[in-house]
């Protein structure tokens, strides 16, 4: 099926490449001409495991191509996906201006039936708005349907998630729209939930908010365990063995970040308020999340007392392992806070240093963890990249000024670190 993707970012590029991999003809467009030029030149602008060869293979096979205008997208695809950003406004609501602009563009170029599918994460009722905008700006009698197809991929595992999704959700208002989406997704062999558009939109906000809630619950438990002298990992393990609860996303740490959870929880709370429901629980989820970061910084302060002039090694900058994405990264926020308080931060990340420098230009980054740890009074583990498990702790200790580790992700084994001669602290563990 001929499919267009508008917005060739983390979601759009992965979605486009995976549709192509499953045999569809795909055109990905973006307003960012530099990005499209790079992609046409064989360069994938983001780090996502497996994405570069996937894109290369499908471009070579003639199933994946790139463009710079939404006019091309409408001309090419029977289905047109919208994958543009929906960032937070200062009041927490989602900024839907990109989505509206794209809807107007699509409307202007409509000639014959198109299925317009929103994949961006949006508040409930957005589908109706998109329908209104397209109706208002399209030629009289234009034939189209609007659908919602929320995306659940995880950065760092995006290809696997997009090729083999747990579930695919369609929000549709016509049989034709459902038929088209079922045909498009048939090669994925996924469980499909076809529902109305409003419910589909809510499924996405509810899912992300619930996952964030699990993380905040684990962080609250960690705070209690620290006061009680218990081990939060034992507590969450015991909870997770109950199938009604499940073990996933019960990991305490320095809080959730990234381009989705913070904005989606805030946007869900804001739309709930607009609908006349005060979703206090979500405010608490956000508050606990802030507390997790502040609690971690307090531990660093307890170790170093005065931060000004202290040398601190920061391991990990991306918002999670497996990506170079630093949007709303708690790791980077911690680094910024330390710099603001006068600490000297020496950073290492396997992938995200360049992206981090765009946000914090004066950040001192190093090519190896050992260089970053040189002369450090304290080492902070901020993002749980697997490669940190293979660190040579003897070597690390030999280059640091003081062998203290504050582990914000409970990555290391406390006994191993103590045995190697480190003073070690983590989250919610005695």
Q: Catalytic positions, please?
A: 260
Whether 197 contacts 148, CB under 8 Å: yes
Token digits of residue 240: 């997770």
| Residue closer to ligand NAD (CB basis): 22 or 35 | 35
Measured CA to CA, the distance from residue 151 to residue 158 in angstroms comes to: 10
| Residue closer to ligand NAD (CB basis): 269 or 407 | 269
- Cα of 318 vs its chain's centroid, Å: 10
Measured CA to CA, the distance from residue 366 to residue 356 in angstroms comes to: 12
Partners of 170 in the β-ladder:
194
Residues forming contacts to ligand NAD in the complex (CB under 6 A) are 6-12, 29-32, 35, 70, 83-86, 98, 101-102, 120-121, 151, 153, 155, 259-260
Burial class (CB within 10 angstroms; exposed 0-12, middle 13-18, buried 19+) of 181: buried
Classify residue 246 as left (phi > 0), alpha (psi -120 to 50) or beta: left
| Residue closer to ligand NAD (CB basis): 82 or 233 | 82
| Residue closer to ligand NAD (CB basis): 6 or 307 | 6
Partners of 315 in the β-ladder:
348, 381
**CA distances to 325, 369, 387 from 348, in Å:** 14, 6, 12
Contacts with 321 (C-beta within 8 Å, 6 or more apart), sequence order: 156, 383, 384, 385, 386
Q: What are phi and psi of 362, to 5 degrees?
A: -85, 10
Q: What are phi and psi of 320, to 5 degrees?
A: -160, 165
State the minimum distance, in angstroms, from the CB of residue 154 to ligand NAD: 7
Look at residues 382, 383, 334, 214 and name the one whose alpha carbon lies nearest to residue 285: 214
Partners of 381 in the β-ladder:
315, 407
| Residue closer to ligand NAD (CB basis): 98 or 279 | 98
State the minimum distance, in angstroms, from the CB of residue 109 to ligand NAD: 13
| Residue closer to ligand NAD (CB basis): 83 or 314 | 83
| Residue closer to ligand NAD (CB basis): 204 or 310 | 204
Measured CA to CA, the distance from residue 413 to residue 379 in angstroms comes to: 15
Whether 346 contacts 374, CB under 8 Å: yes
DSSP code for 89: P
């Amino acid at each position: 099926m001929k499919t267009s993707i508008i917005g060739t970012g983390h979601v759009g590029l992965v979605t486009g490449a995976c549709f192509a991999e499953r045999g569809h003809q795909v055109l990905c467009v973006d307003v960012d001409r530099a990005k499209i030029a790079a992609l046409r030149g064989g360069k994938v602008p983001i780090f996502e495991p497996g994405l570069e060869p996937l894109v290369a293979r499908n471009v070579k096979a003639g199933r994946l191509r790139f463009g710079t205008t939404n006019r091309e997208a409408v001309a090419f695809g029977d289905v047109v996906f919208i994958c543009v950003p929906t960032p937070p406004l200062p009041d927490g609501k989602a900024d839907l201006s990109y989505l509206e602009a794209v809807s107007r563009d699509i409307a202007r170029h409509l000639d014959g039936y198109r299925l317009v599918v929103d994949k961006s994460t949006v508040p409930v009722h957005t589908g109706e708005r998109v329908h209104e905008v397209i109706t208002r700006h399209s030629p009289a009698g234009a034939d189209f349907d609007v659908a919602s197809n929320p995306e659940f991929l995880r950065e760092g595992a995006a290809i696997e998630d997009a090729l083999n999704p747990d579930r695919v959700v369609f929000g549709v208002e016509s049989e034709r729209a459902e038929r088209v989406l079922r045909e498009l997704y048939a090669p994925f062999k996924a469980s499909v939930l076809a529902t109305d558009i409003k419910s589909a939109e809510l499924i996405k906000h509810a899912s992300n908010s619930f996952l964030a809630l699990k993380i905040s619950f684990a962080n609250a438990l960690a705070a209690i365990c620290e006061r009680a002298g218990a081990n939060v990992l034992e507590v969450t393990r015991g909870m997770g063995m109950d199938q009604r609860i499940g073990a996933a996303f019960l990991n305490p740490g320095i809080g959730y970040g990234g381009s989705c959870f913070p904005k989606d929880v805030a946007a869900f709370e804001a739309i709930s308020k607009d609908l006349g429901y005060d979703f206090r629980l979500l405010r608490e989820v956000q508050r606990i999340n802030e507390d997790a970061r502040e609690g971690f910084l307090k531990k660093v302060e307890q170790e170093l007392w005065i931060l000004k002039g202290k040398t601190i090694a920061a391991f990990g900058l991306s918002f999670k392992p497996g990506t170079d994405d630093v949007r709303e990264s708690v790791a980077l926020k911690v680094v910024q806070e330390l710099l603001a308080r006068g600490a000297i931060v020496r950073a290492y990340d396997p992938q995200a240093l360049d992206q981090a420098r765009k946000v914090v230009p004066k950040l001192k980054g190093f090519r190896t963890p050992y260089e970053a740890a040189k002369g450090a009074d304290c080492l902070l583990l901020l993002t749980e990249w697997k490669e940190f498990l293979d660190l040579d702790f003897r070597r690390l200790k030999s280059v640091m000024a003081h062998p203290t580790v504050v582990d914000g992700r409970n990555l290391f084994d406390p006994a191993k670190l103590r045995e190697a001669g480190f003073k070690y602290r983590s989250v919610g563990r005695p």
